[in-house]
Structure 1
Amino acid sequence: MFKREAERAAELINTALEALGYGRRALEMRPIPFPGVWGTSTTVCYQIANEQLAEELEAATVGLSKKEAKRLVQERVRERAQAIAEELATWLSARGDFARVEAVNGYLNIVYDTARFANEVLRAVLAAGPDYGRGAPRGERVMVEYSQPNTHKAFHVGHLRNVCLGNALSRILRFAGFDVLEANYIGDIGLHVIKCLWCYLRFHRGEEPPREQRGRWLGEIYAEADRRLSYRQDVVELLNELAQADPVFVQAIDRMLKELWREHKVGEDIAYLLGQIAHGREIKPDAFYDEQTIVKFWPIVGRQLEHELAEARAAAEQDREDKTIQRVRQLEEWYERWRRLAATLDWWPHVPQWEREVRETFQRWERKDPEFVQLWEETRAWSMEEFYRIYDELDVHFDVWFFESEVEEEGRQIVRELLERGIAEISDGLPVVKIDEKLGLEKETYRTLPILRSDGTTLYSTKDLALTKRKFEQYHVDRAIWVVDVRQTLYLQQIFKVMELWGFQQASKCYHLAYETVMLPSGAMSSRLGNVVLYEDVARQVLERALEIIEEKNPSLPPDTKAAVARQVGLGSLKYGMLSRDNNRVIVFDIEEALSFEGHAAPYIQYAHARACRILEKVDALPEGPYALEDLTREEIDLIEQIALFPDEVQRAADEYKPLVIANFVYELAKRFNEFYRVCPVLQAPEPQRSARLAMVAAVRQTLANGLALLGIAAPEVM
């Protein structure tokens, strides 16, 4: 509302400028930077003074030094600007539209009538209700593509950040006045699917878990496939790391390999291992003559790590220096990796055969083998059922569903068209777009984008080009937004630029909302290491803890109400935890912190809303305005000021594609309301102050509810 009031002030200033013969101007209005004062300021008087004095000052500064000329210009311009500001102030003051109009050092300051403006804010909120802050139609259609989970893989807590960002941004854009389409692009085919189905057919054929666990089970099958196929790489990665970072291990390698010879009579591979480890050269998984060498060597590696760890722990008991403790922690991490790999040591000889089988499985998909396609459709449905359940729990709903499997052939046709039009070319057997060259850029910026494999199989880019074309042509979007993690930044810029070269004007309004990863206090997640934290596990823990907190805070609530509020608080804390940090920063998600009633967390904000509801339920009806708002306390001024900011913050969040703006807004509003509640009695206040404060409480309740709704977070009435 401050923006609207500043626009009103600018229009009146232009009326004055016209009346005084200065002519209308494009005015830049800035808030007056004084606490507790509502108003706006402009430098237009300096602009006019500079224009009027330009020729006069040019002549007057001839022969003066730079310093003297600068001082003369500043003095003359300031004097003229002040005179103009006083003239405008006199004209505007006579009309009585503002509390006061001041000419200060050449600036024109307009101070709003506090009572009038405060009444206008409260009236606007209470009249608009759920629509307070809603923007006028923008006349643009926006598609926000987000979530994009892969079938046959687990839906983990990292996916939650994407969903929360995309859904909140969609809600904000729609509220700001855009026509919004929410889209999901399901990765239902690709190497991850092939790996999962290969592992199912090879090791789990005929197995089927309970219906409610099938999506999770598929994720576990994929993780197993990934561990099996990357087993050799994981083993040599650990050996290479030990060779580079553990001098004790390197010093012991000669003894260890002699032990290997004595026990197993291994031949040529001993020389290879000795040369690589002793000289810090990379061990390669396919460089061994005997498939059993690593199988036989691995227990010896484990005994060496056990010995080193025992010595390090003994040293740490005597010496508590950071370096010694760090050595123990590093050895524990290495030993844990060794132990995990030792548990499946029999996998080593089979990996090459498994890799061949995966390639054969991929060919079954390429030739659309009926039996394989049927299995894919059935298992894909298992994953989709889990996704639908999660989206329903999060109150997330999509207007458009895209599937990767549906755009493969479309993508191949696009590659042919790009080649025919000279946008793409064949380079080293691959169809590519040399983006920098096509744009005439000398500095490497967008590089070269391959758009199809040499064997004709599709890449991500093949399908993303087809998908983007479909968005523009079939759905007639004016701008498109992708919510995708930060590692895909260059790739998406390449897609946008190829679409621009192709002639799509909308490409200039494509935007990548990048975000960083989610970690837990225990560290980063990895499906290969088996420490991926699934969304449903985190959600269950949060909801259980939320119920415990609600029972502690309000034990008298009926059981059904407790459960409903705990659900609102739990899901709210999950979402706010993903939205209250800048999307370019890594999130370390801590359940206790997310559920805090005191800090920067959803329950703190939700409790402010419940507190407002509790106050208002004690009055039969809200008093009607206008209200007596002449002598406001500092807390009241701060509160009304924050409420008034909401419409402008909605537009800013939409223009900047930044849900964090609203997350910060609702927190600040809750904070100011709590300060108001602490200092300003409401129900016990005398009239007319009581009525005015009740209106403020009602306006807070409504604005908090509206702001939380934009984040997809419920506003409980009791807590």
Structure 2
Amino acid sequence: MKNLKSEIKGALVSLLRKAELLKNENIIETLETPPDTEMGDMATSISFSLASKLGKPPTQISEEIIADLTLSKNSFISKIETKGGYINFFLNYQKLSEKLLKKILEQGEIYGSSDYVGNQEVLIEYSAPNPNKPMHIGHTRNNFIGMSINNILSFNGYKTHPVNEINDRGIHICKSLWGYLQFGKKTGSEGIKNWRKLLEEWYEDQSKWTIPKDVGKKPDHFVMDYYVKAANMIAEDKEYDRQNREVLQEWEKGNKKVRDLWKKMNNWAYQGWDETYKRQGCEFEKYYYESNLYKRGKEIVLENIDGNLFFKSDKGTVVANLERYNLPGLVFIRSDGTTLYQTNDLALTEKKVQDYPNSKLIWVVGGEHKLYFKQLFQVFDNLGIVKKDECYHLGYGLISLPEGKMSSRKGKVILADDLMDEVHEMVKKEVEERNPELNENEKRDISEKIALGALKYGMLRIDAFKNIVFDPKEIIKFEGNTGPYLQYAHVRANKILKKVNGFKNRYQPEKLEKEEKLLIGKLLGFPEVVEKAAKEYKPNLVANYGYELAEAFNSFYHSCPVIQSEDETKEFRLTLVKAFKITLKNCLTLLGIDTPEIM
């Protein structure tokens, strides 16, 4: 589905081709949007690229070009000017508004979408928390990026497959098991005991051990308590570390009692996550579990150890030799025979390719793992699992506390649930002040939509690759570049439309004010922004477009009376408000942001 701005650009290219100097030039790449509408709505800098070739100044070249151009009566261009070597084009907003507004109202919730990729498939792996703790603010950013990328790619015609990979086994998971055995007994115990003996006691009578409902905790938070205690102790004592590695070795041997405890604690974590995912709006087509795949990962490594890729080091580890690709080696099997994340990633990716054979693969994972994914993609390529060109690591920056990077081992972390609760309560105070007549359920529902909208927009408006120092007080403001500002613009448009009992859509006024032109021009740009966001995997482009659109609407709102206008002007402005509401709604939907009816 070709968007109107692309049609206009195509018409501009055809027009410029009529100039003798441009018959064989690449014109489309030179088209741009001037920084000021006084300089036109579109422009080309092609005179500058021709200057050295023709030995003429750009100003002379631009004059020669426009001398060959004649506008047709049906053109979307009203006039052409040259300035400083640039050729500037001014849109015919009368014609543009008629075609654009009609298109927006006809297409509704699909306005801005496209099908430029055909039936191409893409698998997006995101979230990937560890079931030894609840999700934190870093997972929240990951979730929001993954959700929005899924929405944006789907809107652009991709068949998307959002999946989640759960690292449900390994040394980190065993820390919470070891911690629970040491500290989870209802009667308590003095000192650290033999974990094997504690495991026997737990297996014989689990009623003597604390469970989440005993202490009134969300299950994933309950699990984290034991992980933090254990992780801090294990980091400081080699004996405790040795015991924890014994737990892992017993798990890998299939020890039934260890496995039963592991299943119970993982299920507690999953129960807690389900609540968090539901609140954030996360949905996955498929879950992959490391415990189902890790053996296959080890098999892949051992099957290829005699080749040119894997070798056994003098330390007893199995390493991928990547020197010829200017990459450092990567360990896949520890000296004690246990496996690592990357071992599982071999099996997981093999499985994903089997399940989705025609898909490009995207990993939404922190940017600090950039080198790891370069190494991993090269190994995939060498093993024939998938070509590295079909793999993409969508990295994102860290979120810092005032004192620096978060660490769940030390307990210095903002948990996703706590963050959502805190922002919800801050927003609720504002909602109560503005709408005291609402009942508690209404206040809670509206506050939740605004709070989640504030969080999502606050994270997504910033380029994913950049680090964030997160300040909840700033993101909930109803003014400025915030989610609530965009939501309020939608509420304002809705209120205007509700004030009339009905009206005839009018797409072309007799006269257009400057603010109306600016709003129409911004509506025109939505499909192009969405397509660019898909091609570059940048939801921040959609977020910041939404802010610019809301700004243009608010300027229009304050300068151009709608309800108080005369009949035809009123009908046109109501139609423009309706088109704005549709476009902003589509924009917010791509970001996973709900629009409350009132604020």
- Which residue of the partner structure matches residue 382 of structure 1? 268
Instruction: Give the alignment partner of residue 35 of structure 1, picking from 33, 37, 42.
Output: 37
Taking the aligned partners of 2:550 and 2:45, their CA distance within structure 1 comes to 35
- Corresponding residue for 1:2? 5
Q: 2:102 aligns with which of 123, 127, 145?
A: 123
Match of 2:412 among 500, 508, 531: 531
| Residues 1:648 and 2:534 are matched in the alignment | no
**Gapped regions of structure 1 (runs ≥ 5):** 54-72, 233-350, 440-444
Structure showing the higher helix proportion among its residues: 1
What is the DSSP-based 3-state SS (H/G/I as helix, E as strand, rest coil) of the residue aligned with 1:354?
helix
Letter in 2 for 1:708: L
Q: CA deviation at 1:643?
A: 1.3
The DSSP-based 3-state class of the residue aligned with 2:27 is coil
Instruction: Compare 524-533 and 674-683 and name the one that shifted more.
Output: 524-533
CA distance in 2, matches of 1:560, 1:389: 19
Paired residues of 1:513 and 1:657 also in contact (CA < 8 A) = yes
Asked if 1:391 corresponds to 2:373, the answer is no
Match of residue 433 from structure 1: 320
How many residues matched? 567
Q: Give me the whole-angstrom Cα distance separating, in 2, the residues matched to 1:107 and 1:532.
A: 52
1:557 aligns with 2:538: no
Assess, with a 3 A threshold, how the Cα gap between structure 1 residues 677 and 386 changes in structure 2: closer, same or farther.
Answer: same
SS in 2 for 1:451: strand
1:693 deviation in Å? 1.2
Once residues 454 and 549 of structure 1 are traced to their aligned partners in structure 2, the CA distance between those partners, rounded to angstroms, is: 58
Q: Any idea what SS the aligned residue of 1:556 has?
A: coil
Corresponding residue for residue 220 of structure 1? 225
Contact 1:478 1:506 in 2 (8 A): no
| Partner Cα separation in structure 1 for residue 224 and residue 157 of structure 2 | 39
Provide the C-alpha distance between the structure 2 equivalents of 1:569 and 1:352, rounded to a whole number of angstroms. 48
1:663 and 2:549 correspond: no
**CA displacement at 1:224 relative to structure 2:** 0.7
TM-superposed deviation, 1:461? 1.2
Counterpart of 1:539, as a letter, is: M
Residue aligned with 2:160, SS = strand
Q: Quote the Cα distance in structure 2 between the aligned partners of 1:482 and 1:586.
A: 18
Q: CA deviation at 1:118?
A: 2.1
Change in Cα spacing, 1:358 to 1:12, as seen in structure 2 (3 Å) is same
Aligned residues of 1:612 and 1:697 also touching (Cα < 8 A): yes
Q: 1:129 to 1:494 in 2, by over 3 A?
A: same
Q: C-alpha distance in 1, partners of 2:171/2:487?
A: 43
Corresponding residue for 1:578? 459
Q: Shift of the alpha carbon at 1:500?
A: 2.3
1:173 aligns with 2:54: no
Mark the structure with the bigger radius of gyration. Answer: 1
TM-score of the superposition, structure 2-length normalised?
0.88
Q: What is the Cα deviation at residue 46 of structure 1?
A: 8.1
* Closer/same/farther in 2, CA of residues 39 and 527 from structure 1, 3 Å limit: closer
Q: Is 1:541 paired with 2:422?
A: yes
Is 1:99 the counterpart of 2:100? The answer is no
Cα distance in 2 for partners of 1:157, 1:422 equals 41
Provide closer, same or farther for how the CA distance between residues 578 and 468 of structure 1 changes in structure 2, counting only shifts above 3 A: same
User: 1:21, 1:155 → 2: CA distance?
Assistant: 60
Q: Which runs of 5+ in 2 are unaligned?
A: 186-208
Task: Report if the CA contact (8 A) 2:59-2:86 is conserved.
Answer: no
Task: Assess if the C-alpha contact under 8 Å between 1:82 and 1:104 holds in 2.
Answer: no
The whole-number CA distance in structure 2 between the counterparts of 1:666 and 1:591 is 20
Partner SS for 1:526: coil
- Superposed displacement of residue 642, structure 1: 1.4
Pair 512,82 (structure 1): closer, same or farther in 2 beyond 3 Å: same
Which amino acid letter does the alignment assign opposite residue 27 of structure 2? L
Measured after TM superposition, the shift of residue 709 of structure 1 is 0.6
Partner of 2:585: 705
Please, what TM-score do these two structures have when normalized by structure 1?
0.74
CA shift for structure 1 position 215: 1.6
Amino acid in the other structure paired with 2:560: C
Q: Which amino acid aligns with 2:7?
A: R
- Contact 2:493-2:578 within 8 A present in 1 as well: yes
What is the rounded CA distance, in whole Å, between the counterparts of 1:45 and 1:577 in structure 2?
Answer: 41
Q: SS where residue 688 of structure 1 aligns?
A: helix
Equivalent runs, 1:681-696 vs 2, <5 Å:
681-696=561-576
Partner SS, residue 37 of structure 2: coil
Q: What is the 5 A alignment of 1:118-197?
A: 118-138=97-117, 139-197=119-177
Map 1:164-563 onto structure 2 (within 5 A).
Answer: 164-205=144-185, 206-210=209-213, 213-230=218-235, 232=236, 351-428=237-314, 429-437=316-324, 439=325, 445-503=326-384, 506-521=387-402, 524-563=405-444
**2:200 maps to which residue?**
none
Answer whether contact 1:572 1:602 (CA < 8 A) is retained. yes
Which deviates more from structure 2 when the two are superposed, residues 675-684 or residues 2-11?
2-11
2:114–2:157: 8 Å Cα contact kept in structure 1? yes
Q: Which amino acid aligns with 1:564?
A: D
Q: Equivalents in 2 of 1:385, 1:525: separation in Å?
A: 24
Query: Is contact 1:183–1:399 with CA below 8 Å preserved after alignment?
Result: yes
1:86 aligns with 2:62: no
Read off the aligned partner of 1:599 and give its amino acid letter.
G
Residue 354 of structure 1: how far off its partner (Å): 2.3
1:214–1:155 Cα change, 3 Å:
same
**Counterpart residue number, 1:56:** none
Q: Which amino acid aligns with 1:424?
A: F
Distance 2:100 2:366 in 1: 39
Provide the secondary structure at the position in 2 that maps to 1:482: strand
The correspondence for 2:487, drawn from 584, 606, 615, is 606
Checking the alignment, whether the CA contact within 8 Å between 1:173 and 1:180 is kept in structure 2 is yes
Query: What amino acid does structure 2 have at the position aligned with 1:510?
Result: C
- Give the secondary-structure state (helix, strand or coil) at the position aligned to 1:74: coil
Contact 1:579 1:663 in 2 (8 A): yes
Percent same amino acid at aligned positions?
Answer: 34
Q: Output the CA distance in 1 between the equivalents of 2:354 and 2:584.
A: 39
Rate the CA distance shift 1:191–1:636 in 2: closer, same or farther, 3 A.
same
**CA 1:99–1:226: 2 relative to 1, 3 Å:** same
Select the residue among 601, 610, 626 that pairs with 2:507: 626
Deviation for aligned residue 1:544: 1.9
Distance (Å, rounded) in 2 between the aligned partners of 1:43 and 1:667: 28
Q: 1:44 to 1:229 in 2, by over 3 A?
A: closer
Pair 1:635 & 2:515 matched:
yes
The one-letter amino acid of 1:373's match is: R
Q: CA deviation at 1:380?
A: 1.0
Q: How many Å apart are 1:361 and its aligned residue?
A: 1.3
Q: Report the residue type matching 1:86 in the other structure.
A: A
Distance 1:557 1:700 in 2: 28
**1:392 to partner: Cα distance:** 0.9
> What SS does the aligned partner of 1:111 have?
strand
